[in-house]
Amino acid sequence: MKALKGNIIFTSSPEKFEVFENSYLVESKGKVYGIFKKLPQHLKNIKIHNFGKSLIIPGFVDLHFHAPQFQNIGIGYDEELLEWLNKYTFPEEAKYDNEEYAKRLYKKVAKEIWRNGTTRVSLLSTIHRNATEILMDIFHKAGIGAYVGKVNMDRNSPDYYIESTEESLSVTKDWILKTKDKYPLVKPIITPRFVPACSEKLMRGLADLAEKYDIKIQSHLSENQEEVEWVKSLHPEYETYAHVYDAMGLLNEDTVMAHAVYSNEKEIELLAERKSFVAHCPNANYNLASGIMPLRRFIDAGVKIGLGTDVGAGHQVGIYKVMSQAIQASKIKWLESGKKEEYLTTSEAFYLGTKGGGRFFGKVGSFEKGYSFDALVIDDKNLGDRDIRSIEERLQRFIYCGDDRNIIKRYVEGKVLCEPI
Ligand code: GUN
Ligand code: FE
């Protein structure tokens, strides 16, 4: 057992922060044991790490990150989604056929994710099985919790970056069998790229694998207007884009869909009914001029939401950046809706980037008893006076003005994460 001492702040629900000034966050067996103002007698002998005035917060959770696109961030944003995929994304992803290339660049990805305090992440790799296994190994060594998906695509894709249906299914099955029990914190996740790139046969086959081996699922949904029209023309028989995934057996409580910018009431209702997660990725939605997700409508409908950087459509790795972008996006939506759709508060945005997305990983993203001891220590002395500000104000200031240099320690399941090599 051990304790971190400092100013502890987290959200167990979206409405408000829980604040414990100058207190002890106690860990036992990788989980949160409790928070104490004074250590009780039976804990008097445990090791204490005193972080003084620093803030202690849950680790960040990123529900959507394309590892091979890290190399492309900041590039190609003059295009919208479909052109961007063809011109920039597919040519870069195709290079991961080369294992040396994958090893070199995926190590950089792990370093940046570590640096920015993300302790749990849902990653997409490429169609290449070997590079996907390399990515899993790198995240395991880094100690970061991760779902890692080998991407599947068997139609409407360039001939240099496509699989046959049979090959895609058989390779995915072998890869799942090899990796599903290999690591404690890194797991495979089924990853059909999006409806336009996956045949019905492939999607149904992937759904069978997910069910048979109890594997989570991630994909993209209603991100861009042209994309939504394309899906409608490919599958006119279904009510919405999400209804296609649902009919294929891919929409359940172990599914996370990125974006959902153009979801109508029917689609939102279905996502709520299926208890699926949505990864809100405002940074990416701005860069590719996709639009602004009507977040409040999802929250009101009871859809489970987390945040995603969507690197490389998003250009920043820090989930704290996405928190402020989600707030900004919601304020535009609020104005556009005639001030009807309430904008996000800071505690709501913080919740989405910690416990909201953390629910996809289990008891993650909060300091309630029994939650994974995933924590960050934030030294904010360079951001302004600490003594005249409340703990809540200091956290807000870090979200808006801080960066990776303020993150001085990272823990996952109670273990300190060293910088990945
Ligand atoms: N839709 C299908 N593939 C992608 C991708 O790589 N990035 C984003 N943002 N959307 C997608
Ligand atoms: Fe994406």
Given phi > 0 = left and psi -120 to 50 = alpha, else beta, which region is 53?
A: alpha
Question: For the segment 213-255, what is each residue's pLDDT rounded down to a tens digit?
Answer: 999 999 999 999 999 999 999 999 999 999 999 999 999 999 9
In a domain, 230, yes or no: yes
Render the burial of 348-367: b for 16+ CB within 10 Å, e for the rest: bbbbbbbbbbbbbbeebbbb
pLDDT at 149: 98
Closest Cα to atom 7 of ligand 1: 313
Q: What ipTM was reported for this prediction?
A: 0.99
What is the number of the ligand 1 atom nearest to the C-alpha of 196? 2
Ligand 1: residues with CB < 6 A are 66, 81, 85, 89, 193-194, 220, 223, 284, 310, 313
| Of 65, 69, 220, best ligand 1 pocket probe by most atoms within 8 Å of the beta carbon | 220
Question: For the segment 278-323, what is each residue's pLDDT rounded down to a tens digit?
Answer: 999 999 999 999 999 999 999 999 999 999 999 999 999 999 999 9
CA torsion sign for 273, 274, 277, 282 is: negative
pLDDT at 331: 98
**Domain containing residue 289:** 60-361
pLDDT band of 364, cuts 50, 70, 90: very high
Looking at the structure, do residues 281 and 378 belong to the same domain, yes or no?
Answer: no
The CA 293 to ligand 2 mean position distance, Å, reads 14
Q: From residue 129, how far is each of 47, 102, 243, 394 by CA, in Å? A: 43, 11, 29, 44
Mean pLDDT of 332-341: 95
The CA 131 to ligand 1 mean position distance, Å, reads 19
pLDDT at 383: 98
| Of 154, 193, 278, best ligand 1 pocket probe by most atoms within 8 Å of the beta carbon | 193
Looking at the structure, do residues 65 and 55 belong to the same domain, yes or no?
Answer: no
Question: For the segment 203-221, what is each residue's pLDDT rounded down to a tens digit?
Answer: 999 999 999 999 999 999 9
Looking at the structure, do residues 33 and 132 belong to the same domain, yes or no?
Answer: no
In a domain, 289, yes or no: yes
Picking from 361, 382, 402, the residue at the C-terminal end of a domain is 361
128 phi and psi angles, rounded to 5 deg: -90, 120
The CA 98 to ligand 2 mean position distance, Å, reads 22
Looking at the structure, do residues 290 and 241 belong to the same domain, yes or no?
Answer: yes
The CA 167 to ligand 2 mean position distance, Å, reads 23
Rounded-to-integer distance, Cα 256 and Cα 252, Å: 9
Looking at the structure, do residues 166 and 252 belong to the same domain, yes or no?
Answer: yes
Mean pLDDT of 77-97: 98
pLDDT band of 3, cuts 50, 70, 90: very high
CATH of the domain at 383: 2.30.40.10
pLDDT at 300: 98
Question: For the segment 98-119, what is each residue's pLDDT rounded down to a tens digit?
Answer: 999 999 999 999 999 999 999 9
In a domain, 357, yes or no: yes
Looking at the structure, do residues 408 and 336 belong to the same domain, yes or no?
Answer: no
Looking at the structure, do residues 28 and 160 belong to the same domain, yes or no?
Answer: no
Q: Are 370 and 31 in contact (CB under 8 A)?
A: yes
pLDDT at 330: 98
Q: Is 50 exposed, middle or buried (0-12, 13-18, 19+ CB in 10 A)?
A: exposed
In a domain, 421, yes or no: no
* Number of domains observed in the structure of the chain: 2
Question: For the segment 115-126, what is each residue's pLDDT rounded down to a tens digit?
Answer: 999 999 999 999
Q: Are 362 and 375 in contact (CB under 8 A)?
A: no
In a domain, 221, yes or no: yes
Mean pLDDT of 125-143: 98
- CA 89 to chain CA mean position, Å: 19
| Of 71, 83, 85, best ligand 1 pocket probe by most atoms within 8 Å of the beta carbon | 85
Looking at the structure, do residues 65 and 54 belong to the same domain, yes or no?
Answer: no
- Closest listed ligand to the CA of 226: 1
Mean model confidence pLDDT for the chain: 98
In a domain, 204, yes or no: yes
pLDDT band of 191, cuts 50, 70, 90: very high
CATH of the domain at 217: 3.20.20.140
Looking at the structure, do residues 95 and 128 belong to the same domain, yes or no?
Answer: yes
